[in-house]
Amino acid sequence: MENKSRNLLTIDDENVILEAVKRVGTAEGWKVDTATDATQGFQMVQKNSYDLCLCDIMLPDMDGFQFLEKLRESEIDLPVIMTTGFATIENAVKSLDMGAIDYLPKPFTVDEVLSTLYRGFRFVDLKKRQIETDSDVNSIIVPCPLQYKHLGFQSWISIDYDGSVKIGATDLFLKIINSIKTVNLLPLEAEILQGFSCAEFEADDELIHQLMAPMSGQIIRVNEKIKEDLSQLEKDPYFNGWLYIIVPKNLNYELKYLSGCHNIFGR
């Protein structure tokens, strides 16, 4: 694992969750600060410099969305991962829409919180590398084709002429995970739900990363090839590296929550 010093800020109104995150993060060698409300959190953000923030949505004074808004207004560039016990697609999508880089539904296991936070830190690293080298974004990560749509920086869809929908993981997501050891896909005919996990990626560092489904529907084809040849996934994430073909359940409705393909860093 990376041995850089990592600074994490956790905002939650439940002390047990703050303690748990602190415990887990400290064990990983990070510096973890905690705040019990967004106002306190914002003061800490202004005083100290953090790499990443894990923020609850439902908070006493100002909620997580308002916190995001305030960061944007103050032009503080702090990547935020949203978390909430009221885990609905609306909350997930609203978070991503408002500039959060990821979304973690409560309750979570250590592996889940760690993989999400590691992804967050690597996102920060990638972004830093882009800024430091002042290189073209496209040389670091390949954006999805223009006609595609994506959910957060995680998954993409492409609508076929027959109305079926192809689903896959974005290059950014795969780059963040880095070395993928195995991919666990759902079986044929399984139902997937927008905003909830639809595939598991096991990395070399033993972290398991869940991919958020970009759309709800029933799986009619599974790309079995990539299980054998993981390189397909990394080489060509938007074409040969697709994961499922589904029959969408609420295409028009769920399209609202997806964004067009553009520079993901440049929000």
Partner 1 sequence: MFSKISLKLILTITFLSILIFSGFVYYSLHTQDTLLLNQTKKFINAESETIKSSTKVSMLANDREVTHEIIKTVGKQPCIRQVRILNKEGKVIYAADTTEIGKVLDKKAEACYSCHASNKPLTRLSISKRIRIYKLHPDSSRILGVINPIYNEPSCWNAPCHAHPKSQKVLGVLDLTVCLKNVDRDLNLAKQHMILFAFLSILGLAIVLGILVKQIIGIPVKKLSEGVKMVASGNLNYKVPELGNDELGLLARSFNHMTEKLMEARQQLFQSDKMASLGRLAAGVAHEINNPLTGILTYASFLMKRTKDQPDIHKDLEVIVRETLRSREIVKGLLDFARQTIPKKVKSDIHQVIERALTVLENQLTLNHIEVEKHFSKQLPQILIDPNQMQQVFTNLIENAYQAIGKKGGKITITTSLTRLAPYGVVQIKQALCPKGHELMDEQVRIDGLPTVKLKVIVNGQETFVNLDPIYGKNRIKMGLPITSGDKVDIRCPKCNISMVDQGKTCPQCNAPIYVLEIPGKGELRGCFTSDCRWQYWDYIEQQGPRDYIEIKVSDTGCGIPPEIMDKIFDPFFTTKGQEGNGLGMAVIWGILENHEGIISVESTVNVGTTFTIHLPVNLR
Task: Give the nearer residue to partner 1 in terms of CB position, either 218 or 232.
Answer: 218
Element (H, E) at 41: helix 38-47
Task: Give the nearer residue to partner 1 in terms of CB position, either 22 or 31.
Answer: 22
Among positions 85, 122, 208, 261, the unique one binding partner 1 when judged by CB under 8 A = 85
Among positions 106, 175, 227, 267, the unique one binding partner 1 when judged by CB under 8 A = 106
Task: Establish if 219 lies at the interface with partner 1 (CB under 8 A).
Answer: no
- Residue 227 CB, nearest approach to partner 1 (Å): 25
Rounded to whole angstroms, the Cα distance separating 123 from 110 reads: 20
- Is beta strand 165-169 parallel, antiparallel or unpaired with respect to 155-159? antiparallel
CA distances from 235 to 98, 230, 240 (A): 30, 9, 9
Rounded to whole angstroms, the Cα distance separating 21 from 110 reads: 9
Task: Establish if 77 lies at the interface with partner 1 (CB under 8 A).
Answer: no
CA angle at residue 89 from 15 to 62, to 5 degrees?
Answer: 40
Measured from the Cβ of residue 43, the count of other Cβ atoms closer than 10 Å reads: 11
- Residue 14 CB, nearest approach to partner 1 (Å): 5
What does the radius of gyration of the chain's CA atoms come to, in whole angstroms? 18
Task: Establish if 87 lies at the interface with partner 1 (CB under 8 A).
Answer: yes
Task: Give the nearer residue to partner 1 in terms of CB position, either 54 or 80.
Answer: 54
Among positions 86, 135, 138, 235, the unique one binding partner 1 when judged by CB under 8 A = 86
Give the bridge partners for 259, in sequence order.
Answer: 150
Task: Establish if 111 lies at the interface with partner 1 (CB under 8 A).
Answer: yes
Q: For binding to partner 1 (CB under 8 A), which residues are involved?
A: 14, 16-17, 19-21, 23-24, 27, 58, 84-90, 106-111, 113, 193, 250, 252-253
